[in-house]
Structure 1
Amino acid sequence: MNLETRQCQNCHNDFVIEPDDFDFYKKIDVPAPTWCLDCRMQRRFSFRNERHLYKRKEALGGKEIISIYSPDKLLKVYSHKDWWSDKWNPDDYKKEIDFSKPFFGQFKELLFEFPWAALFNTNSVNSDYCNYTTDNKDCYLVFGGDFNENCCYSTFNFHSKDTADVYWVERCQLCYETTDSKNCYRVFFSKYARDCNNSMFLFYCSGCSNCVGCVGLRNKSYCIFNQQYTKEEYEKKMGELGLNSRSGIQEFKRKMSNFVLKFPHRYAQIIKSVNSSGDNIVEGKNCKRCFEITGPAEDLKDIFLGGLNGRDLSSCDHLGHGVELAYDSWAAFGGSSNIAFSLWTRTCHNIRYSYALTDCSDCFGCVGLRNKQYRILNKQYAKNEYEALVPKIIQHMNDVPYLDSGGRIYRYGEFFPAEFSPFAYNETIAQEYFPLNKKDCLEKGYQWKDLETKNYQATINPEELPDKIEDVSDDILNQIVGCAHKGECDEQCTTAFKITSQELQFYRQMNLPLPVFCPNCRHYQRMKQRNPIKLWHRKCQCAGKQSENGVYTNTIQHQHGDSPCSDEFETSYSPERPEIVYCEQCYNTEVA
């Protein structure tokens, strides 16, 4: 088919469906979307609460548990252990299809009758306050991170140890306030650091040790703001910078933010990949408009956070580990295939409109099943009955569509309405990537959760905290620290927080000052360091001998000589941003 422009049913903006999209829809046997890419992603994100945890009573035994579902939600919630146990039978929850009612409404009834797992936290040891994680030990408030030990306040950290306040790091140890980094030891306040140690404030550096405030260096030691020093000079300078104090760190952050703008930025982090666009892609082939892809991965389009032997995936997020042929879904794992309009499927095949299935195949509109086949709304059918009934249900979904509270029409081919989510919009990652205020949120048909009145008051204000960790006594463990944002930000501020013994030990070991922001605000500050999951078409800003803005002078002649580079690309740096953006070749000529 030819390229086609449609109007999004949700935001009413035009969006384009390309010929290869139609080929994919035919392959997986679904209709073309009526919502644009961003609105589809926002809708899926509104079902994923990663980091908001609550205490509530378990429905099965009445004990107090940690849960992603707040106690005011009228849900049947089981502990993670009991949800997977044989203390109850998922087969007790099923429905007969009723062709007089919209299918989506019937699925919603089943969904909210069924027990919900309090957390997704597998094989953890002393790591109760973690979610969407597996195989963590002695971790606290880790979300989406696996195989870690003694880590806290972190998201998407993997195989790391003794690390705090990081985002998307792998095989790091004793690191702090660092994002998008790998194989680092004792690295603080850095981004895109690889194989570095004993360093602070690095940006796009690799193989560096004992460096501070450096950009684009490779295999260097004893550098400050890219200037080379002897070991003795470096140690003297470090003593003068005062980076063991909060005030010294804040001053250095200000200088560093200006310093990084003097250097070219790579248009995208696309490594060992072929015919791919997006950002943070490693070992991808034919990955278009994709973000956070860890390969090998092939034939992906509009994917956020996936890969690991995934292929033939479109408009999905948070999936991988051998998944093949999936569309408009999230959290599909374990070699699942032919998945559409579903959430959290593991080792499943031929699934539509389902949630939390394991080792299932040929299921339509099912919830929480394990090792089942030929189920509709959890009811068992014979193979021939199932195959005859599914086309009738699809036709019924088109003939008797569901209308949500905003009047949007849901026929076969739409993901679940956001009003089916058990979470308020601002409890989910949708608020992180598509932020809304309360008024706009409610107008768009999402739920909103007001900040709960806390039964505590800060006993110490952030400005009263010592500037250096050496001046902090153990009494800080008994204090409630007021967050510097005071709940006046848009970052889900908790207004106050406590210092745990685990993190106090870490700050002392690393000689770092105490934080003055609550964990939520710190998380949002790290998120703001990262580029958006959106692309702009731009031209390389290398003008020949220097950058277009004249700030950076090239250190070597480029292939295009003194003439401006003609390369164009898709980048997550928007045109109005101040960074100097170079194409792959120009950047590598200067830095690699």
Structure 2
Amino acid sequence: MEEKRQCQNCRHEFRIEQEDFNFYEKIKVPPPTFCPECRSQRRMAWRNERTLYRRKDAFGKNVVSIYAPEVPFIVYERDYWWSNAWDPLKSGQEYDFSKSFFIQFNELLKNTPVPNVFSNNVIDSPYTNHVGYMKNCYLTFASWECENVLYGAQETRSKDISDSRAGVNNELCYETINCEKSYRLEFSQDCSSCINSAFLYDCRNCADCFGCIGLRNKQYYVFNKPYSHEQYKEKMNEYDLGSYEVKQKLQKEFYDSLTRFPRRFAQFINTVNVTGNHCRNMKNCYACFDLYDDVEDSKYVANGGLGLKDSYDGYGVGVVCELLYEGIDTGVTGYKERFSIVVYTCRDTNYCFNCENCSYLFGCVGLRNKQYCILNKQYTKEEYETLIPKIIEHMNAMPYTDKKGRVYRYGEFFPPELSPFAYNETIAQEYFPLTKEQATEQGYTWKDPEQRTYQSDIKTEDLPDHIKDVKEDIIGEVIQCAHSTSSGQTASAVCNEQCATAFKIIELELQFYKKMNLPLPRLCPNCRHYARLRQRNPLKLWKRSCMCAGGKSEIRNSKSETSSKFQYTNTAQHFHGQDKCPNEFETSYAQERPEIVYCEKCYQAEVV
């Protein structure tokens, strides 16, 4: 049985299939009233990964925090929050059947201490958030087991890298996206086990390659052409990436060539019956993104994995867990964690925030090693089991209605208007970007950028072109971001990318650039982060047909300044001969995009 329903947020139609109903019945929740995309956006509006502020904690100590100074929360410095010096049950409250549940939860959230940032086991890494087991890291977020990582996001077990995203086991890498097991790799995307290379896309087991696409097990290639060892060395002498001007020219040349080469419809490794993108070692999963290793029977999940089973609607979830639903940053041997934010190693919980190693909780904040609690109040097992059905019935009879008229009964995630974060402080802005006007119209809050009143010491156009000409005294100087303008001591951004308007070079960073022969950046860390985001596909799927038309691709419009249309000529015979490829698929490349998109068989025929 399949049902079509109208999303109460965007009003678009979405489907609920029989397998979905089976899942909802298994975890005892009603079917959703928001479509999958709106559910994802709603969850993300509760996760601030990288917007940091200076504020006072509850004891007057200056801390770096994800909560803006005006947010009326009780903020504890992280180490104190993790100590046993305070008791979260002291903020517990009786359930009030005269109020909406979400109103009561919001009151509890404001009355229960929260840590200034979400981090665990970090050394000399104060400007980080949603991280664990980190050492000497700076402005790095949503990462794990890293050392000497600068300006990173979603990095795992990486060392001595800068300005990279979604990497695993990398070392001495710069400006990489979705790369793994690589060493001295720069300006590259979707690569694995590559060494001493730059400007690569979808290459595997390559060394000493430059400007290449779709290579396998190759060495000494430049723009997909083979060279001898000596020829390669001579060619590399022409490409001095220590110069910003040379780097910009080569980057443009590489991107132009990348546009003309077919793209694989999705990045999959060892998957069976899977749709989405960037998936590895998975089966029976639909609309899943950035998941890896032993993931089964899940839908609408992004960023996680590692033993995730039978779960729906999550971001940052996984590590040996099962039956998770509507969560963000949840899992780690979790079971039946529903509607939760930063909840680990918990069992049978509903509507919890920042809880660990608990079971049978409903509407709790900041609990550890507890069970049978409601709104941070302790109950006996019998009392808990008697009260929970009454609360669920009350949530349905007295729902929360937000300012846009959207109704929140049991089964809906937390309303975004109760989030302590403005829309543009959260990852919702990264995956579902809105203008201030659009966000306000849709019922989200928005935080205008703070007025910057400092004086820049250096403008980007005055920076040395080559890293060899950069002196040590650049450390600590205020450099104006190329995306900002200044008038006197006031600076403002000319982009919609959370521009910081200025930035500084730290000592570890300058050492890295010198060692790697890389020019100084011209953009602030936020603008560089958003530039990487633009290179990644959305968490969305479109039904399309393979664009292989026989011996050539279909003709596409080009973004290149030198050509308006282009057509790729195949280098190998494909299974369909001179006929158009009959294969169809779901892909994260929208129909109107300029890339040539091939099915798995046609793409594999073209990689070298």
Same fold (TM over 0.5): yes
Amino acid aligned to 1:516: R
Cα deviation digits, residues 447-493 of structure 1 (max 9, x gap)? 11111122422111111111100111112114210000001101000
Cα deviation digits, residues 343-367 of structure 1 (max 9, x gap)? 1111101101111111111111111
Q: What residue is the counterpart of 2:78 in the other structure? A: 80
**Deviation of the 1:133 alpha carbon:** 0.6
Amino acid aligned to 2:508: Q
Asked whether 1:546 is paired with 2:552, we answer: yes
Asked whether 1:508 is paired with 2:524, we answer: no
1:206 counterpart SS class: coil
Query: What is the distance in 2 between the residues matched to 1:103 and 1:194?
Result: 48
**Deviation of the 1:552 alpha carbon:** 2.1
Query: What is the distance in 1 between the residues matched to 2:411 and 2:433?
Result: 26
Q: What residue is the counterpart of 1:559 in the other structure? A: 575
**Deviation of the 1:235 alpha carbon:** 1.8
**Deviation of the 1:551 alpha carbon:** 2.3
Q: What residue is the counterpart of 2:9 in the other structure? A: 10
Asked whether 1:581 is paired with 2:579, we answer: no
**Deviation of the 1:446 alpha carbon:** 1.2
Which of the residues 347, 362, 365 maps onto 1:364?
A: 362
Q: What residue is the counterpart of 2:424 in the other structure? A: 426
The unaligned stretches of length 5 or more in structure 2 are: 485-492, 556-565
Amino acid aligned to 1:535: L
1:353 counterpart SS class: strand
Cα deviation digits, residues 362-411 of structure 1 (max 9, x gap)? 11111111111111111112212211111111111111111112221111
Runs of 4+ in 1 over 4 A off after TM superposition: none
**Aligned ranges 1:186-201 → 2 under 5 Å:** 186-201=184-199
1:289 counterpart SS class: strand
Q: What residue is the counterpart of 1:453 in the other structure? A: 451
Amino acid aligned to 2:17: E
1:43 counterpart SS class: helix
Asked whether 1:517 is paired with 2:523, we answer: yes
Q: What residue is the counterpart of 1:530 in the other structure? A: 536
Q: What residue is the counterpart of 2:314 in the other structure? A: 316
**Deviation of the 1:433 alpha carbon:** 0.7
Query: What is the distance in 2 between the residues matched to 1:41 and 1:173?
Result: 32
Q: What residue is the counterpart of 1:206 in the other structure? A: 204
Q: What residue is the counterpart of 2:171 in the other structure? A: 173
Contact kept, 8 Å, 2:318 with 2:331, in 1: the verdict is yes
Q: What residue is the counterpart of 1:55 in the other structure? A: 54
Query: What is the distance in 2 between the residues matched to 1:407 and 1:135?
Result: 43
Q: What residue is the counterpart of 1:33 in the other structure? A: 32
**Deviation of the 1:242 alpha carbon:** 3.4
1:258 counterpart SS class: helix
Aligned length, in residue pairs: 590
Query: What is the distance in 2 between the residues matched to 1:342 and 1:156?
Result: 20
Query: What is the distance in 2 between the residues matched to 1:57 and 1:352?
Result: 31
Contact kept, 8 Å, 2:221 with 2:227, in 1: the verdict is yes
Query: What is the distance in 2 between the residues matched to 1:27 and 1:478?
Result: 56
Q: What residue is the counterpart of 2:460 in the other structure? A: 462
Amino acid aligned to 1:251: K
For normalisation by structure 1, the TM-score amounts to 0.98
User: Percent identical across equivalent pairs?
Assistant: 51
1:291 counterpart SS class: strand
**Deviation of the 1:170 alpha carbon:** 0.9
Query: What is the distance in 1 between the residues matched to 2:98 and 2:16?
Result: 33
Asked whether 1:163 is paired with 2:156, we answer: no
Amino acid aligned to 2:481: C
**Deviation of the 1:244 alpha carbon:** 2.1
Contact kept, 8 Å, 2:352 with 2:361, in 1: the verdict is yes
**Aligned ranges 1:81-230 → 2 under 5 Å:** 81-230=79-228
Contact kept, 8 Å, 1:53 with 1:67, in 2: the verdict is yes
Which of the residues 370, 385, 389 maps onto 1:391?
A: 389
**Deviation of the 1:510 alpha carbon:** 0.7
**Deviation of the 1:164 alpha carbon:** 0.2
Query: What is the distance in 2 between the residues matched to 1:414 and 1:477?
Result: 49
Asked whether 1:284 is paired with 2:282, we answer: yes
**Deviation of the 1:425 alpha carbon:** 0.7
2:272 counterpart SS class: coil
The unaligned stretches of length 5 or more in structure 1 are: none
For normalisation by structure 2, the TM-score amounts to 0.95
Contact kept, 8 Å, 1:323 with 1:332, in 2: the verdict is no
Q: What residue is the counterpart of 2:441 in the other structure? A: 443
2:274 counterpart SS class: coil
Amino acid aligned to 1:500: I
**Deviation of the 1:191 alpha carbon:** 0.5
2:34 counterpart SS class: coil
**Aligned ranges 1:259-338 → 2 under 5 Å:** 259-338=257-336
Query: What is the distance in 1 between the residues matched to 2:455 and 2:67?
Result: 24
Asked whether 1:571 is paired with 2:587, we answer: yes
Query: What is the distance in 2 between the residues matched to 1:538 and 1:11?
Result: 24
Amino acid aligned to 2:318: G
Contact kept, 8 Å, 1:457 with 1:496, in 2: the verdict is no
2:4 counterpart SS class: strand
2:280 counterpart SS class: strand
2:167 counterpart SS class: strand
